[in-house]
Amino acid sequence: MSFDILVKGGILPDGRQADIGIRDGRIAAVEPGIGGEAGRTIDASGDLVSPPFVDPHFHMDATLSYGQPRINASGTLLEGIALWGELKPSLTQDEVKERALAYCDWAAAMGLLAIRSHVDVCDDRLLAVEALLDVKREVAPWLDLQLVAFPQDGFYRDPTAKQNLLRALDMGVDVVGGIPHFERTMEDGRRSVTELCEIAAERGLMVDMHCDETDDPVSRHVEQLAFETQRLGMQGRVAGSHLTSMHSMDNYYVSKLLPLVAEAQLSAIPNPLINIVLQGRHDTYPKRRGLTRVPEMLAAGIRVGFGQDCVLDPWYSLGTGDMLDVAFMGLHVAQMTSPADMRRCFDMVTTESAAIMGLADYGLEVGKQASLVVLDAGDPVEAIRLRADRLCVISNGTVIAEREPGRSKLTLKGRPAYADPRFRLPSKPDA
Ligand code: FE2
């Protein structure tokens, strides 16, 4: 057999050791000890070989705009929205595109090869929509960019949001978004969920709504989203992003809500870095974490994918495009510390998020698109612990990024010359 690329000796996320043969942009073989010729052989001995990272919730129109025109002084969601509103009139298509493409370069280096980005449609010029549609076309050979029409200022609250959202969908935006908790009344929020789901159903599109991104324990838009998903027969095609109010809801109500969410096959996309930073800002002490009920949703059979939401923008002053940072934070805040739970956190930034985005061609199986990441770690938990270096990133059968493993040179008398952060436990507890 001959391959374009042969990745030798890697360890798959499920613990199997296997070589991966790549031909014509596709995975041609996954098994131990593959022989034959290859245009290039990559030695991944003892390294984790994973399908690419997937970010199911991002804002690429705002990324890398930190500090423009000023910094979010209160650190709240609402000041972030106001700040973005101040920046919007001065945006140009070229500038949005330039920032987005710069971020996509970072994503390539991080092995982040699929991103669902919301794009604000509350600007009559729709220049961010045009810019991100351009970016989507440009990066398509190596990065799967899915766009969500997002009425940031409210589907009803903003006077032209509805017509702009429909225009954006006509232009080719993939998914219908919403922000019911930001409408003027709970009733307007409820109606917006209904109308937006109807628009998506009519056009055969998926839905991904910012939903109940508040600390309000009586916010009820997730319930409405689950109801509309059922009513319109959209099971499996709808996601609720954030769902932070669920953190603060009455436990009895949640015991009724979770089975409804599961029944509607509504996916959940918490954003741990942003939720822990933005929520609980009106609390003194004890201060709520705000992250939605991740372990409880998983136990109820609800699909959960962790998103990143923001990198260097009006809402978040940090970030690198590293989905392992997201998994690391999610693991801590949700207290998912058992070996099995930690493994699940890795799945939530890879396979689970790919399923939420509907990426049918994703995964390390024969016939799928040949996209993968070689990580400087032995298994998914170690990858999260180390936020491991991406030694090699392959997209659609082409190597797009490479990196030497990071090591610190030590100058301590009588100690080794290099510190190897890849300290492995001699035996690992069973997952
Ligand atoms: Fe968001």
* Domain segments of the chain as ranges: 2-51+363-408, 53-357
Among 213, 223, 352, 382, which one carries the catalytic annotation?
213
Residue 307: what residue type? G
| CA 309 / ligand 1 centre spacing (Å) | 5
| CA 197 / ligand 1 centre spacing (Å) | 18
| pLDDT recorded at residue 423 | 58
Q: Which fold, 53-357?
A: TIM Barrel (3.20.20)
Q: Which helix (H) or strand (E) holds 399?
A: strand 398-402
Q: Which residues surround ligand 1, an ion (CB under 5 A)?
A: 309
| CA 58 / ligand 1 centre spacing (Å) | 6
For 14-59, what is each residue's pLDDT tens digit?
Answer: 999 999 999 999 999 999 999 889 999 999 999 999 999 999 999 9
For 351-409, what is each residue's pLDDT tens digit?
Answer: 999 999 999 999 999 999 999 999 999 999 999 999 999 999 999 999 999 998 877 77
| CA 260 / ligand 1 centre spacing (Å) | 23
Answer yes or no: is pLDDT of 184 > 70. yes
Residue 326: what residue type? V
Contact 209, 150 (CB under 8 A): no
Instruction: Quote the distance between the C-alpha of residue 85 and its chain's center.
Output: 24
| CA 213 / ligand 1 centre spacing (Å) | 9
3-state SS of 18-68 is: EEEEEECCEEEEEECCCCCEEEEEEECCCCEEECCEEEEEECCCCCCCCCC
CATH match for 2-51+363-408 among 3.30.70.1140, 2.30.40.10, 3.40.1710.10, 1.20.140.10: 2.30.40.10
In DSSP notation, 337-396 reads -SHHHHHHHHHTTTHHHHHHHT-TT-SSSTTSB--EEEESSSSHHHHHHHT--EEEEEET
Mean pLDDT within 248-271: 98
Instruction: Quote the distance between the C-alpha of residue 143 and its chain's center.
Output: 13
Using alpha carbons, select from 146, 152, 180, 182 the residue that is nearest to residue 164: 152
| pLDDT recorded at residue 420 | 66
Angle among Cα 238, 169, 167 to the nearest 5 degrees reads 140
| pLDDT recorded at residue 221 | 98
Which is it for strands 418-419 and 408-409: parallel, antiparallel or unpaired? antiparallel
Angle among Cα 367, 307, 114 to the nearest 5 degrees reads 30
Q: Which two tokens stand for residue 297?
A: 């949703």
| CA 416 / ligand 1 centre spacing (Å) | 46
Mean pLDDT within 177-185: 97
Our answer to whether residue 98 is catalytic in this structure is: no
96-to-100, 134, 200, 320, 383 alpha-carbon distances in Å: 6, 10, 26, 18, 32
Using alpha carbons, select from 174, 70, 157 the residue that is nearest to residue 118: 174
Work out the pLDDT band at 431, boundaries 50, 70, 90: very low
| pLDDT recorded at residue 410 | 80
| CA 208 / ligand 1 centre spacing (Å) | 10
Mean pLDDT within 295-323: 97
Mean pLDDT within 156-179: 98
Q: Helix, strand or coil for residue 209?
A: strand
Q: Which two tokens stand for residue 191?
A: 């109606």
Using alpha carbons, select from 80, 107, 90, 277 the residue that is nearest to residue 179: 80
Mean pLDDT within 336-347: 98
Contact 407, 419 (CB under 8 A): yes
Using alpha carbons, select from 40, 114, 164, 119 the residue that is nearest to residue 305: 114
Q: Helix, strand or coil for residue 218?
A: coil
**Which residue bears the tokens 């070989």?**
49
- What distance in Å separates the CA atoms of residue 162 and residue 173, rounded to the nearest whole number? 14
Which distant-in-sequence residues (6+ apart) come within 8 Å of 349 by Cβ? Answer: 53, 54, 55, 305, 306, 323, 324, 326, 327
